[in-house]
Structures are given as C-alpha cells and as structure tokens.
Amino acid sequence: MKKSKRFSVAAKNSIRLLAIFNKLKKFLPKAYRNIQIGLVLTETEDYKTYQGGYAVPCTINIGSEYLNTYPTDIALAEILAHELGHHVMGHVLIQRDREITPQEEQDADHFGMFLCELAGFHREEYITWFERFENDREKTLSKKHIQEHGTGNERLKRLKDQSKYLNSIGDFK
C-alpha cells in the first residue's frame, strides 16, 4: 500500500481511536480528562522501529502503523488505556530523561485492563488481545525495550494472575 494511502487509512482509523479515547476518559479522575491524543506518522524513515504508543506530559501519541495494523476496538482501547495508566500513575511526571521500568509497564497493563473493563470491554478479550500483540512483536523487540518493559510473557502472566483475583469489576471498585 502506498504511503499516502496508508496515512489516509490511519487518519480514518483515528476517528475511531478518538471515540474510544473519549469513552475511556469518562472513567478517569477529572484531573486527567484533558489529556490530548496525537497521531505520529510512524511509517516514515525516522520512526521505522516505533512500536505503538507512548505517553508524554499531557499527551498520548499513537503511531499510524499501529492504527493500520491493529484497527480493532479492543486494540485501540488497550493501547489508550495502558498509556492513560502511565499518566494516572505519574510515570510521565517523575523524570523526563529516565527509562521506564518493567514494574511501571506492568502497573500500566493492569490499569489498562481495568479501565477497559469499566468502559465495557471484557477482561478476557483484553488478555487475548494483549497476548496476540505481544506474540506479533516478540521477534522485533530490542534488548532495550525488553529491559524497560519486561518480556511479553512476564507481562501476560501477571495480567492473568491478577485477573484470577478479581471476579468482576465490582471487586475493583
């Protein structure tokens, strides 16, 4: 697919991304409802290794390649909820020039799972999606990424373990 066509597909998918983002934000404390969302054109030379999304103060950026590859509602909800987790837990405010830790990534994974559940997505669907995404990108992750985020298997095991302890979202409230 030509670059310009892929950009237009990503732009079209970004409308769905924004709708899901607004749905998720309803369940956040008011202080976090002004977070902005950005689209990064990741199919350009500068972003060839870009994986999906990242959080910076006041903004969540999502890559166009992610939008084109994973345009399903659960895929969009998962990445948004995970990045919102980094905001709510203060990971983006601690220090700008530091690496994220595997524990912070796992905390954002859990937050994302529960935020998605509050917004009407099923936990099992979230975990199934998370597993697929981690399997898809397993061979392409850099050592630095694994060092910062942990392995997909470690993160998935923790999500499944956490899910066992909570029977319903009512247990989380």
Q: Which two tokens stand for residue 125?
A: 């669907």
Mean pLDDT on 59-82: 90
Q: Tokens representing 37?
A: 């969302």
Cα separation, 95 vs 106, in Å, equals 19
Signed CA dihedral, 45, 51, 52, 57: sign only? negative
pTM value is 0.84
What percent of the chain is predicted at pLDDT more than 90? 34
Q: Which residue has the higher pLDDT, 78 or 45?
A: 78
**DSSP bridge pairs for 61:** 38, 54
Given a contact cutoff of 8 angstroms between Cβ atoms, the answer to whether 155 and 105 are in contact is yes
Q: Phi and psi of 96, rounded to 5°?
A: -70, -40
Residue 13: predicted pLDDT: 84
